[in-house]
Amino acid sequence: MAPLLRLLAVWVACMGAALANDAGDREDGQDAYHESGRAIYNFRCYFCHGYSGDARTLTTTFIDPPPRDFSATALHELSRQQMIEAVTHGRSGTAMTAFSRVLGADEIDAVVDFVRREFMRDKAVNTHYHSVENGWPDHERYRDAFPFATGEIPIDGPWEALTAQQVRGKRLFLATCITCHDRARVEDEGVIWRKQSISYPRNNYSHTEVDAVSSASIYALHDVSPQISDLSEDELKGQALWLQNCAFCHAADGTGQNWIGSFLEPPPRDLTKPDFMRGMTRDMLRQRIEDGLPNTSMPAWRHVLSGQQIEHIIRYISRAFHPVENADSVGFQ
């Protein structure tokens, strides 16, 4: 946060008490203020809303409703004040959490004004991530892989249809770029690329074999479900629902220590921790799943999951991670 605070200090020194106008569009000369908003966005917002504000991220595929695409939103469609309210207090029924816990009012103003100018007005692409400052010297050496990262060429197409240069690019993408770009574009989602809550980098991608753990990353361990041989029918249903909806943040093993969980503030609850789970009841857990938790990334699931599905998840949590009071003794309501 120190660089961010320094940027804000520069803006305060340069601009004094200048306020945003009603449209939220700063003058082009206020570069320090704009860059302070960029720093906040790149640290807090891009993971869901996309590096260029277009919400084209892997996370987006798991969020319902999806994050807003600012690049497709005109200034007149969304007022500055509406955006400030959303960043400050979050949006009920969505994954948009309240940021007033971690951002001050000036910081919220700065990031909102950055989004309005950078994406909604100028349709800009933001700072390129692959820069020297971010540890990417000579990114052009990966140019053969660019068509696969951008989706111009699907990564599951036949090798024999590729030129020699494209073969080099595909191999490079599968060995290196896939860690962050994941599936990019595929023609057939299939068993390998099916939509699922796997957050570890799939460096060892293969069209014929899925290596779920080895050589993936330190986070791969947490994307493997506990091995329980005698789950009941209800618990099996809960396991499937957990993996489809909950594991993306909380991890398949319920710890929240997967790659995605490491980005969230506060981090997802570790449902295997006795100190936390001993005080958890079935009714408390159901209420948190249904209504979400304010000031966290835990959204309300009542509009996505039925009451019966939530009960299945609670039964699975109680069996796989930590016993939940009354989770197995109370029937569906």
Q: How would residue 294 be classed by pLDDT, with cut points 50, 70 and 90?
A: confident
pLDDT tens sequence across 119-131 = 999 999 887 767 7
pTM of the model: 0.52
Please write down the HEC assignment for all residues of the chain. Answer: CHHHHHHHHHHHHHHCCCCCCCCCCCCCCCHHHHHHHHHHHHHHCHHHHCCCCCCCCCHHHHCCCCCCCHHHCCHHHCCHHHHHHHHHHCCCCCCCCCCCCCCCHHHHHHHHHHHHHHHHHCCCCCCCCCCCCCCCCCHHHHHHHHHHHCCCCCCCCCHHHCCHHHHHHHHHHHHHHHHHHCCCCCCCCCCCCCCCCCCCCCCCCCCCCCCCCCCCCCCHHHHCCCCCCCCCHHHHHHHHHHHHHHHHHHCCCCCCCCCCHHHCCCCCCCCCCHHHHCCCEHHHHHHHHHHCCCCCCCCCCCCCCCHHHHHHHHHHHHHHCCCCECCCCCCCC
Percent of the chain whose predicted confidence (pLDDT) is above 90: 40
21 backbone φψ class: left, alpha, beta (φ>0; ψ -120 to 50): beta
Greatest mean pLDDT range, 148-152, 199-203, 204-208: 148-152
Of residues 137 and 291, more confidence is placed in 291
Q: How would residue 15 be classed by pLDDT, with cut points 50, 70 and 90?
A: very low
pLDDT tens sequence across 47-87 = 889 888 998 876 777 788 889 999 999 999 999 999 999 99
Judge whether 316 and 235 are in contact, CB under 8 Å: yes
Of residues 93 and 3, more confidence is placed in 93
Q: Is the predicted pLDDT of residue 6 greater than 50, yes or no?
A: no
Q: Which residues contact 252 (CB under 8 A, 6 or more apart)?
A: 197, 222, 223, 224, 225, 242, 243, 258
Of residues 288 and 194, more confidence is placed in 288
Structure confidence at residue 190 (pLDDT): 73
Alpha-carbon distances, residue 305 vs 101, 289, 324 (angstroms)? 28, 9, 20
- Token pair for 99: 């940021």
- Token pair for 30: 């206020």
Structure confidence at residue 329 (pLDDT): 44
Q: Is the predicted pLDDT of residue 161 greater than 90, yes or no?
A: yes
Distance CA 250, CA 260 (A): 8
Judge whether 324 and 318 are in contact, CB under 8 Å: yes
Q: What are phi and psi of 291, to 5 degrees?
A: -105, -10
CATH, domain 233-320, list 1.10.760.10, 3.40.190.10, 3.40.50.2300, 2.60.120.620:
1.10.760.10
Structure confidence at residue 53 (pLDDT): 92
Length of the chain: 333
Structure confidence at residue 308 (pLDDT): 95
Structure confidence at residue 183 (pLDDT): 75
CATH topology of domain 2-121: Cytochrome Bc1 Complex; Chain D, domain 2 (1.10.760)
Q: What is the mean pLDDT of residues 142-158?
A: 91
* Sequence ranges of the chain with CATH classification 1.10.760.10: 2-121, 233-320
- Token pair for 43: 């640290």
Structure confidence at residue 184 (pLDDT): 80
Q: How would residue 193 be classed by pLDDT, with cut points 50, 70 and 90?
A: low
Structure confidence at residue 300 (pLDDT): 86
Structure confidence at residue 135 (pLDDT): 66
Distance CA 113, CA 245 (A): 33
33-43 residues labelled b (16+ CB within 10 A) or e (exposed): bbbbbbbbbbe
Strand partners, 281: 325
